[in-house]
Amino acid sequence: MDSILCDELVQEIFRRLPPPSSAAVSLVCKKWLYLLRSSTTSLSLCFIQPPFLPSFTSFLRSHPFLSTLSVTVTSTVDSSDQLLLSVASSCPKLRHLRFLNCPVSSLSLLSLSVSCPNLVSLAVTLFRPLCLLWLTPFKSLKELSIYSAGNSGELDSGGLDFVGPCELNLESLLLTGIQSSDKGVGFLWRNCKKVRTLKLKSCEGVGDQASFLAFLECLEGLQEVELRTCRGIADGVLLKLAESSVMLNSLLLYDGGSKVGLLHFLGQSKCGGSLQNLDLRLPLDLDNNHLTAAAENLGSLRSLRLQSCCLVTGEGLKILGNAMANGLEELALINCDVVERESGLLTTLGQDLKRLRKLDLSFNDMLLDKELISMLVSCNNLNELKVRGCRKLTNLAMVSLAKCCEKLQSVDVMYCCGMDAQGVEFFVLNSPNLRLLHVEGNKVSDVARTWASHKSIEVVA
């Protein structure tokens, strides 16, 4: 084969192989191992113990064309800076780097900026006190994720954060564990004028008072916001978004907020004409008043995802469904007991939301076949359905899926205890557009597996 195909063609073949085949290819001969590594552009490495540095460096250098690298060390590491310096010196073509669980210093990150000038995406773990001046040389960086790892015991950076204007080119920013005492974050807020996506997780604050004022100015141009477990700042963010963010098209709010702040945002927000995606997991903070406000103000909504919303009733969902009848394309009611509690709710929603393309009713343990089927008969345009963890559903639901939803391309029926191999086989054989099926391996018969292979259907167990 080596004499028939040139190296470039062999490498192109290797690039198209599924990941599990790479291990087998590397064992054929030394030349194939070399060609495989030379054709590899993406690696994900996870170490239980810190790797031996010379071996780690040698391994990286045997992959000269790496553009994407993820390195995670699950144990405590004293040599994290040396590992990052090894990455910097061995992978000059890197464009995407995730270096997690190992807090690194500003000096090693400055070295990274010199060695990998084309880096566009970076995720790192940092010790407090946060000092982010090392970002200045990263001229190509567009996406930044920072995970805080507690205090290093070093002295506060003091006034080093208060430098002159230095506009960064960041467009996407993810921060975790930020506190109100983190002065260094102010550098980000003052110099990130191009950020369009902001994700905050487990943040008690956004820096000191000066940082907060700069943070509020950053909110005006945002298009996508995610707040996960940020109860201390959620209200302030929502109020500012409602007041000035006319470009916002996506909001995710999990486990934190207040009824008053959320109601103000849903009812008074200036982004009512642009907001298309709303994802809420607020067990005790979301009720029918919020759904009514959304129905009246968010006319452009295309995707609504609700999780564990205990206080919502069928009345609120029906009002929302009726208002969104001509626009909503995705609906998720995940672990929402109203689905099980109010008979006929899904029937009404199905009749109103005939433009639905995606439906997620996962983890509604007591959802019955008749309730799901009564909705599906009206949802003829569905191409994605998830009912993972709906333990009461049976083969009857699978038969109805095949008959009512011929456009389905992706289906998730994992952990649906009432379904067996016979129902899965019937669905696979009678779903002409199916491309992806999530189901337990023991429910896939030989006939279904053969048919799936023949029809290019991916079965994920």
* 23-32, 96-105, 288-297, 352-361, range with the lowest pLDDT: 23-32
Are residues 25 and 1 in contact, defined by beta-carbon separation less than 8 angstroms?
A: no
pLDDT range class, residue 152, cuts 50, 70, 90: low
Confidence (pLDDT) at 20? 61
CA-to-CA distance for 390 and 420, rounded, in angstroms? 13
Confidence (pLDDT) at 41? 82
Where b means 16+ CB within 10 Å and e means fewer, 207-246 reads bbeebbebbbebbebbbbbbbbbbeebbbbbbbbbbbbbe
* 16-30, 163-177, 229-243, 272-286, range with the lowest pLDDT: 16-30
What does the DSSP 8-state code read for residue 389? T
Are residues 301 and 326 in contact, defined by beta-carbon separation less than 8 angstroms?
A: no
Averaged pLDDT for residues 438-451 = 95
Averaged pLDDT for residues 367-383 = 94
174: pLDDT strictly greater than 70:
yes
- State percent of the chain over pLDDT 90: 65
Is residue 328 classed as helix, strand or coil in its secondary structure?
coil
Are residues 184 and 210 in contact, defined by beta-carbon separation less than 8 angstroms?
A: no
Report if pTM > 0.75.
yes
Are residues 152 and 184 in contact, defined by beta-carbon separation less than 8 angstroms?
A: no
Tens digits of residue pLDDT in 3-12: 566 666 666 6
